[in-house]
Amino acid sequence: MTTSLYLAHKPAAVAVATAIPRLVPPPSIDMSKLSPPPPLVSVNRNMVAKHKAVVVMGATGTGKTRLAVDLALQFGGEVINADKLQLHRGLDVATNKVTAEECAGVPHHLIGVAHPDEEFTAVDFRRAASRVAGAVTARGRLPIIAGGSNSYIEELVDGDRRAFRDRYDCCFLWVDVQLPVLHGFVGRRVDDMCGRGLVKEIAASFDPDRTDYDRGIWRAIGVPELDAYLRSCSCTAAGDEEERARLLANAIEDIKANTRRLSCRQRAKIERLYRLWRVRRVDATEAFRRRGDAADEAWERHVAAPSIDTVRSFLHGEFATTDRSNAAETASPTSPSPLLPMFALAAAGAGV
Protein backbone atom coordinates (compact mmCIF):
# COMPACT_ATOMS: atom_id res chain seq x y z
CA MET A 1 0.00 0.00 0.00
CA THR A 2 2.66 2.47 -0.02
CA THR A 3 5.49 3.73 -1.95
CA SER A 4 7.71 5.81 -4.12
CA LEU A 5 10.70 8.07 -4.78
CA TYR A 6 13.30 5.36 -4.19
CA LEU A 7 16.72 6.74 -5.02
CA ALA A 8 18.85 3.74 -4.09
CA HIS A 9 19.40 0.46 -5.93
CA LYS A 10 16.79 -2.29 -5.62
CA PRO A 11 17.51 -4.96 -3.01
CA ALA A 12 19.29 -8.03 -4.32
CA ALA A 13 16.45 -10.38 -3.44
CA VAL A 14 12.83 -9.42 -3.92
CA ALA A 15 10.06 -11.85 -3.02
CA VAL A 16 7.61 -12.70 -5.78
CA ALA A 17 4.42 -10.74 -5.18
CA THR A 18 0.96 -12.22 -5.44
CA ALA A 19 -0.68 -8.78 -5.19
CA ILE A 20 0.14 -5.13 -4.82
CA PRO A 21 2.31 -5.60 -1.74
CA ARG A 22 3.56 -3.78 1.27
CA LEU A 23 6.74 -1.95 0.40
CA VAL A 24 10.02 -1.29 2.12
CA PRO A 25 10.74 2.31 3.15
CA PRO A 26 13.09 4.54 1.15
CA PRO A 27 16.44 5.62 2.50
CA SER A 28 16.89 9.30 3.24
CA ILE A 29 15.96 11.34 0.18
CA ASP A 30 18.36 13.82 -1.36
CA MET A 31 16.01 16.78 -1.44
CA SER A 32 18.41 18.72 -3.68
CA LYS A 33 17.39 16.40 -6.51
CA LEU A 34 13.73 17.30 -6.22
CA SER A 35 12.18 20.31 -7.91
CA PRO A 36 11.45 23.40 -5.80
CA PRO A 37 8.21 23.20 -3.82
CA PRO A 38 5.18 24.47 -5.72
CA PRO A 39 2.97 27.28 -4.43
CA LEU A 40 0.50 26.01 -1.83
CA VAL A 41 -1.73 29.10 -1.84
CA SER A 42 -3.91 30.37 -4.65
CA VAL A 43 -5.74 33.66 -5.13
CA ASN A 44 -9.16 33.51 -6.77
CA ARG A 45 -10.78 36.11 -9.01
CA ASN A 46 -12.11 37.89 -5.91
CA MET A 47 -8.53 38.23 -4.64
CA VAL A 48 -9.18 35.81 -1.78
CA ALA A 49 -6.20 33.67 -0.82
CA LYS A 50 -6.90 29.97 -0.35
CA HIS A 51 -4.65 27.10 0.64
CA LYS A 52 -4.51 23.95 -1.45
CA ALA A 53 -5.34 20.37 -0.50
CA VAL A 54 -5.44 17.02 -2.27
CA VAL A 55 -8.11 14.38 -1.67
CA VAL A 56 -7.41 10.75 -2.61
CA MET A 57 -10.47 8.51 -2.82
CA GLY A 58 -10.96 4.88 -3.75
CA ALA A 59 -12.61 1.63 -2.68
CA THR A 60 -10.91 -0.61 -0.16
CA GLY A 61 -7.75 -2.18 -1.50
CA THR A 62 -7.15 0.15 -4.45
CA GLY A 63 -3.91 1.76 -3.22
CA LYS A 64 -5.06 5.07 -1.73
CA THR A 65 -2.33 5.17 0.89
CA ARG A 66 0.32 4.18 -1.62
CA LEU A 67 -0.67 7.06 -3.88
CA ALA A 68 -0.99 9.48 -0.96
CA VAL A 69 2.59 8.70 0.09
CA ASP A 70 3.78 9.01 -3.53
CA LEU A 71 2.28 12.50 -3.65
CA ALA A 72 3.51 13.50 -0.20
CA LEU A 73 7.09 12.57 -1.05
CA GLN A 74 6.88 14.41 -4.36
CA PHE A 75 5.27 17.61 -3.09
CA GLY A 76 6.15 17.88 0.60
CA GLY A 77 2.81 16.72 1.95
CA GLU A 78 1.36 15.14 5.07
CA VAL A 79 -1.40 12.53 5.00
CA ILE A 80 -4.68 12.96 6.89
CA ASN A 81 -6.47 9.64 7.37
CA ALA A 82 -10.12 9.53 6.26
CA ASP A 83 -10.88 5.93 7.22
CA LYS A 84 -13.46 5.79 10.02
CA LEU A 85 -12.11 2.54 11.47
CA GLN A 86 -8.43 3.47 11.34
CA LEU A 87 -9.31 6.49 13.47
CA HIS A 88 -9.74 4.09 16.40
CA ARG A 89 -7.00 2.54 18.50
CA GLY A 90 -6.38 -1.18 18.17
CA LEU A 91 -6.98 -3.94 15.61
CA ASP A 92 -4.16 -2.71 13.39
CA VAL A 93 -4.28 -5.75 11.10
CA ALA A 94 -8.07 -5.90 10.84
CA THR A 95 -8.30 -2.20 9.94
CA ASN A 96 -5.20 -2.25 7.71
CA LYS A 97 -3.53 0.66 9.47
CA VAL A 98 -0.50 2.02 7.68
CA THR A 99 2.76 0.73 9.13
CA ALA A 100 5.87 2.77 9.92
CA GLU A 101 7.51 1.22 6.85
CA GLU A 102 4.64 2.19 4.62
CA CYS A 103 4.65 5.78 5.90
CA ALA A 104 8.13 6.11 4.36
CA GLY A 105 8.84 9.05 6.65
CA VAL A 106 5.65 10.90 5.67
CA PRO A 107 3.66 12.18 8.69
CA HIS A 108 0.22 10.54 8.98
CA HIS A 109 -2.53 12.07 11.10
CA LEU A 110 -5.81 10.89 12.66
CA ILE A 111 -4.77 7.25 12.98
CA GLY A 112 -5.55 5.52 16.27
CA VAL A 113 -6.77 8.71 17.95
CA ALA A 114 -10.20 7.51 19.15
CA HIS A 115 -11.14 5.01 21.86
CA PRO A 116 -12.21 1.63 20.38
CA ASP A 117 -15.76 2.10 21.71
CA GLU A 118 -16.09 5.76 20.71
CA GLU A 119 -18.58 6.80 18.07
CA PHE A 120 -16.53 9.13 15.87
CA THR A 121 -19.05 10.83 13.59
CA ALA A 122 -18.56 12.49 10.23
CA VAL A 123 -18.96 15.86 11.96
CA ASP A 124 -16.26 14.88 14.48
CA PHE A 125 -14.04 14.00 11.54
CA ARG A 126 -14.70 17.30 9.78
CA ARG A 127 -13.69 19.25 12.84
CA ALA A 128 -10.60 17.15 13.54
CA ALA A 129 -9.45 17.03 9.90
CA SER A 130 -9.95 20.77 9.49
CA ARG A 131 -7.75 21.42 12.54
CA VAL A 132 -5.04 19.08 11.28
CA ALA A 133 -5.16 20.55 7.76
CA GLY A 134 -4.70 24.01 9.27
CA ALA A 135 -1.65 22.83 11.21
CA VAL A 136 -0.20 21.17 8.10
CA THR A 137 -0.58 24.30 5.98
CA ALA A 138 0.87 26.41 8.81
CA ARG A 139 4.03 24.33 8.43
CA GLY A 140 4.10 25.09 4.73
CA ARG A 141 3.12 21.53 3.85
CA LEU A 142 0.44 20.11 1.57
CA PRO A 143 -2.55 18.38 3.25
CA ILE A 144 -3.39 15.10 1.52
CA ILE A 145 -6.67 13.59 2.73
CA ALA A 146 -6.83 9.87 1.93
CA GLY A 147 -9.26 7.16 2.96
CA GLY A 148 -12.23 5.05 2.02
CA SER A 149 -14.90 6.63 4.23
CA ASN A 150 -16.52 8.77 1.57
CA SER A 151 -19.22 10.08 3.91
CA TYR A 152 -16.40 11.58 6.00
CA ILE A 153 -14.76 13.12 2.96
CA GLU A 154 -18.05 14.56 1.74
CA GLU A 155 -18.76 16.06 5.18
CA LEU A 156 -15.29 17.61 5.26
CA VAL A 157 -15.58 19.14 1.80
CA ASP A 158 -19.24 20.15 1.66
CA GLY A 159 -20.34 20.23 5.32
CA ASP A 160 -20.63 23.28 7.60
CA ARG A 161 -21.71 25.48 4.69
CA ARG A 162 -18.64 24.42 2.74
CA ALA A 163 -16.29 26.08 5.19
CA PHE A 164 -13.43 23.83 4.08
CA ARG A 165 -13.88 24.94 0.47
CA ASP A 166 -13.74 28.55 1.62
CA ARG A 167 -10.23 27.90 2.95
CA TYR A 168 -8.94 25.34 0.46
CA ASP A 169 -8.85 24.67 -3.24
CA CYS A 170 -9.18 20.91 -3.56
CA CYS A 171 -7.78 18.51 -6.14
CA PHE A 172 -9.76 15.26 -6.15
CA LEU A 173 -8.17 11.98 -7.27
CA TRP A 174 -9.99 8.67 -7.59
CA VAL A 175 -7.90 5.49 -7.66
CA ASP A 176 -10.11 2.95 -9.40
CA VAL A 177 -9.70 -0.76 -10.13
CA GLN A 178 -12.08 -2.86 -12.17
CA LEU A 179 -14.21 -4.75 -9.67
CA PRO A 180 -13.47 -8.34 -10.82
CA VAL A 181 -9.74 -7.65 -10.54
CA LEU A 182 -10.15 -5.82 -7.22
CA HIS A 183 -12.27 -8.61 -5.77
CA GLY A 184 -9.61 -11.16 -6.58
CA PHE A 185 -7.04 -8.98 -4.88
CA VAL A 186 -9.02 -8.36 -1.69
CA GLY A 187 -9.57 -12.10 -1.34
CA ARG A 188 -5.82 -12.67 -1.45
CA ARG A 189 -5.35 -9.76 0.92
CA VAL A 190 -7.64 -11.37 3.51
CA ASP A 191 -5.50 -14.50 3.31
CA ASP A 192 -2.42 -12.33 3.83
CA MET A 193 -4.06 -10.63 6.82
CA CYS A 194 -4.76 -14.04 8.35
CA GLY A 195 -1.10 -14.85 7.87
CA ARG A 196 -0.20 -11.63 9.68
CA GLY A 197 -2.28 -12.55 12.71
CA LEU A 198 -5.81 -11.30 11.97
CA VAL A 199 -7.57 -14.07 13.87
CA LYS A 200 -5.20 -13.92 16.84
CA GLU A 201 -5.57 -10.12 17.00
CA ILE A 202 -9.36 -10.24 17.05
CA ALA A 203 -9.34 -13.14 19.51
CA ALA A 204 -7.21 -11.08 21.91
CA SER A 205 -9.91 -8.39 22.03
CA PHE A 206 -12.88 -10.76 21.98
CA ASP A 207 -15.47 -10.18 24.70
CA PRO A 208 -18.15 -12.90 24.94
CA ASP A 209 -20.47 -10.36 26.57
CA ARG A 210 -20.30 -8.09 23.51
CA THR A 211 -23.30 -8.44 21.23
CA ASP A 212 -23.23 -4.98 19.60
CA TYR A 213 -20.96 -4.77 16.57
CA ASP A 214 -22.40 -1.47 15.34
CA ARG A 215 -20.19 0.95 17.25
CA GLY A 216 -16.58 2.03 17.19
CA ILE A 217 -13.88 -0.25 15.92
CA TRP A 218 -16.03 -3.34 16.43
CA ARG A 219 -17.69 -2.64 13.07
CA ALA A 220 -14.45 -3.59 11.32
CA ILE A 221 -14.90 -6.43 8.85
CA GLY A 222 -13.54 -9.53 10.52
CA VAL A 223 -14.78 -8.83 14.03
CA PRO A 224 -18.46 -9.83 13.77
CA GLU A 225 -17.65 -12.56 11.24
CA LEU A 226 -15.36 -14.33 13.71
CA ASP A 227 -17.83 -14.17 16.61
CA ALA A 228 -19.24 -17.70 16.22
CA TYR A 229 -15.78 -19.20 15.80
CA LEU A 230 -14.35 -17.43 18.85
CA ARG A 231 -17.32 -18.48 20.97
CA SER A 232 -16.75 -22.07 19.89
CA CYS A 233 -13.14 -21.83 21.03
CA SER A 234 -14.30 -21.42 24.61
CA CYS A 235 -15.71 -24.94 24.46
CA THR A 236 -13.14 -27.57 25.39
CA ALA A 237 -15.19 -30.66 24.59
CA ALA A 238 -13.29 -33.33 22.67
CA GLY A 239 -14.18 -33.86 19.04
CA ASP A 240 -15.06 -30.21 18.38
CA GLU A 241 -11.94 -29.39 16.34
CA GLU A 242 -13.62 -30.21 13.06
CA GLU A 243 -16.56 -27.96 13.87
CA ARG A 244 -14.26 -25.11 14.89
CA ALA A 245 -12.29 -25.52 11.66
CA ARG A 246 -15.53 -25.31 9.70
CA LEU A 247 -16.60 -22.17 11.58
CA LEU A 248 -13.22 -20.53 10.93
CA ALA A 249 -13.32 -21.34 7.22
CA ASN A 250 -16.85 -19.94 6.98
CA ALA A 251 -15.81 -16.79 8.84
CA ILE A 252 -12.91 -16.18 6.46
CA GLU A 253 -15.17 -16.62 3.44
CA ASP A 254 -17.65 -14.19 5.01
CA ILE A 255 -14.84 -11.67 5.55
CA LYS A 256 -13.91 -11.89 1.88
CA ALA A 257 -17.53 -11.60 0.72
CA ASN A 258 -18.26 -8.63 2.99
CA THR A 259 -15.08 -6.90 1.84
CA ARG A 260 -16.19 -7.33 -1.76
CA ARG A 261 -19.60 -5.87 -0.89
CA LEU A 262 -17.92 -2.95 0.86
CA SER A 263 -15.85 -2.19 -2.23
CA CYS A 264 -19.02 -2.09 -4.34
CA ARG A 265 -20.73 0.30 -1.94
CA GLN A 266 -17.69 2.54 -1.74
CA ARG A 267 -17.35 2.67 -5.50
CA ALA A 268 -21.03 3.59 -5.89
CA LYS A 269 -20.58 6.50 -3.46
CA ILE A 270 -17.50 7.72 -5.30
CA GLU A 271 -19.37 7.60 -8.61
CA ARG A 272 -21.97 9.93 -7.07
CA LEU A 273 -19.25 12.33 -5.90
CA TYR A 274 -17.62 12.05 -9.32
CA ARG A 275 -20.78 13.52 -10.82
CA LEU A 276 -20.80 16.35 -8.26
CA TRP A 277 -17.12 17.30 -8.08
CA ARG A 278 -14.35 17.63 -10.61
CA VAL A 279 -12.52 14.38 -10.00
CA ARG A 280 -9.49 12.99 -11.82
CA ARG A 281 -9.96 9.22 -12.15
CA VAL A 282 -6.85 7.06 -12.49
CA ASP A 283 -7.21 3.40 -13.40
CA ALA A 284 -4.91 1.13 -11.39
CA THR A 285 -6.30 -2.11 -12.85
CA GLU A 286 -3.19 -2.94 -14.85
CA ALA A 287 -0.99 -2.69 -11.76
CA PHE A 288 -3.23 -5.20 -10.00
CA ARG A 289 -3.19 -7.61 -12.93
CA ARG A 290 0.57 -7.83 -13.01
CA ARG A 291 3.15 -9.21 -10.59
CA GLY A 292 6.60 -8.23 -9.35
CA ASP A 293 8.47 -5.44 -11.12
CA ALA A 294 5.86 -5.36 -13.88
CA ALA A 295 3.20 -4.39 -11.31
CA ASP A 296 5.47 -1.64 -9.97
CA GLU A 297 6.08 -0.30 -13.46
CA ALA A 298 2.35 -0.36 -14.23
CA TRP A 299 1.63 1.56 -11.02
CA GLU A 300 4.17 4.22 -11.98
CA ARG A 301 2.86 4.52 -15.51
CA HIS A 302 -0.89 4.35 -14.98
CA VAL A 303 -1.34 5.75 -11.47
CA ALA A 304 1.62 7.63 -10.01
CA ALA A 305 2.71 9.53 -13.12
CA PRO A 306 -0.71 10.91 -14.16
CA SER A 307 -1.60 11.69 -10.53
CA ILE A 308 1.66 13.53 -9.88
CA ASP A 309 1.23 15.43 -13.12
CA THR A 310 -2.35 16.39 -12.21
CA VAL A 311 -1.32 17.61 -8.76
CA ARG A 312 1.64 19.51 -10.19
CA SER A 313 -0.69 21.31 -12.59
CA PHE A 314 -3.16 21.96 -9.77
CA LEU A 315 -0.49 23.43 -7.50
CA HIS A 316 0.77 25.70 -10.25
CA GLY A 317 -2.72 26.96 -11.03
CA GLU A 318 -3.20 25.11 -14.31
CA PHE A 319 -5.92 22.76 -13.09
CA ALA A 320 -9.09 24.36 -11.78
CA THR A 321 -11.14 22.34 -9.30
CA THR A 322 -14.72 23.55 -9.27
CA ASP A 323 -17.99 21.66 -8.93
CA ARG A 324 -19.15 19.70 -11.96
CA SER A 325 -22.20 21.91 -11.96
CA ASN A 326 -19.91 24.73 -13.07
CA ALA A 327 -17.90 22.75 -15.62
CA ALA A 328 -18.85 20.28 -18.30
CA GLU A 329 -15.76 18.08 -18.21
CA THR A 330 -13.09 16.96 -15.81
CA ALA A 331 -9.85 18.76 -16.57
CA SER A 332 -7.25 16.65 -18.37
CA PRO A 333 -3.71 16.50 -17.08
CA THR A 334 -0.75 17.67 -19.07
CA SER A 335 1.85 15.22 -20.39
CA PRO A 336 3.43 13.15 -17.61
CA SER A 337 6.73 14.46 -16.31
CA PRO A 338 9.63 12.07 -15.67
CA LEU A 339 9.41 10.29 -12.33
CA LEU A 340 12.12 9.27 -9.96
CA PRO A 341 12.35 5.45 -9.76
CA MET A 342 9.55 3.68 -7.93
CA PHE A 343 10.06 1.19 -5.10
CA ALA A 344 10.91 -2.40 -5.83
CA LEU A 345 8.07 -4.62 -4.70
CA ALA A 346 8.69 -6.54 -1.51
CA ALA A 347 6.90 -9.40 0.26
CA ALA A 348 3.57 -10.60 -1.05
CA GLY A 349 0.22 -9.24 0.07
CA ALA A 350 -0.60 -5.82 1.41
CA GLY A 351 -3.37 -3.78 2.91
CA VAL A 352 -3.92 -0.93 0.51
| pLDDT confidence band for 42 (50 / 70 / 90) | low
Mean pLDDT of 211-222: 94
Mean pLDDT of 175-195: 96
Domain total in the chain: 1
Which residues neighbour 166 within 8 Å (Cβ) at sequence distance 6 or greater?
A: 50
Model-level pTM? 0.80
What is the rounded distance in angstroms from the CA atom of residue 55 to the CA atom of residue 207?
37
DSSP letter for 19, please: S
Q: Is the pLDDT of residue 246 over 50?
A: yes
Max distance between CA atoms of the chain, in angstroms, equals 77
pLDDT at 18 over 50: no
Note the pLDDT tens digit of each residue in 93-143. Answer: 999 999 999 999 999 999 999 999 999 999 999 999 999 999 999 999 999
Q: How far apart are CA 297 and CA 23, in angstroms?
A: 14
Query: Rounded to whole angstroms, what are the CA distances from 94 to 71, 221, 239, 264?
Result: 26, 7, 30, 19
Cβ neighbour number for residue 49 with a 10 Å cutoff: 9
DSSP 116-141: TT----HHHHHHHHHHHHHHHHHTT-
What is the overall mean pLDDT for the chain? 82
**For position 240, what pLDDT does the model report?**
82
**Does position 35 have pLDDT exceeding 80, yes or no?**
no
For residue 100, the SS3 value is: helix
Phi, psi angles (nearest 5°) of residue 170: -115, 140
pLDDT of the residue at 314: 96
C-alpha 296, offset from chain centre: 17
Q: Is the pLDDT of residue 350 over 90?
A: no
Mean pLDDT of the 251-272 span: 97
Distance CA 284, CA 330 (A): 18
CATH number at 199 reads 3.40.50.300
The confidence score (pLDDT) of residue 331 equals 38
Which stretch of DSSP H or E encloses residue 342? Answer: none
Bridge partner residues of 77 (DSSP): 142
Stretch 62-85: mean pLDDT, rounded? 97
- The contacts of residue 260 (CB under 8 Å, 6+ apart) are 183, 186, 187
**What pLDDT sits at residue 234?**
75
Residues 6+ apart with CB under 8 A from 101: 2, 22, 23, 24, 25
Of the candidates 195, 185, 197, 252, the one whose C-alpha atom is nearest the C-alpha of residue 18 is 185
| Torsion angle, alpha carbons of 118, 124, 127, 128, to 10 | 30
Domain housing 177? 1-352
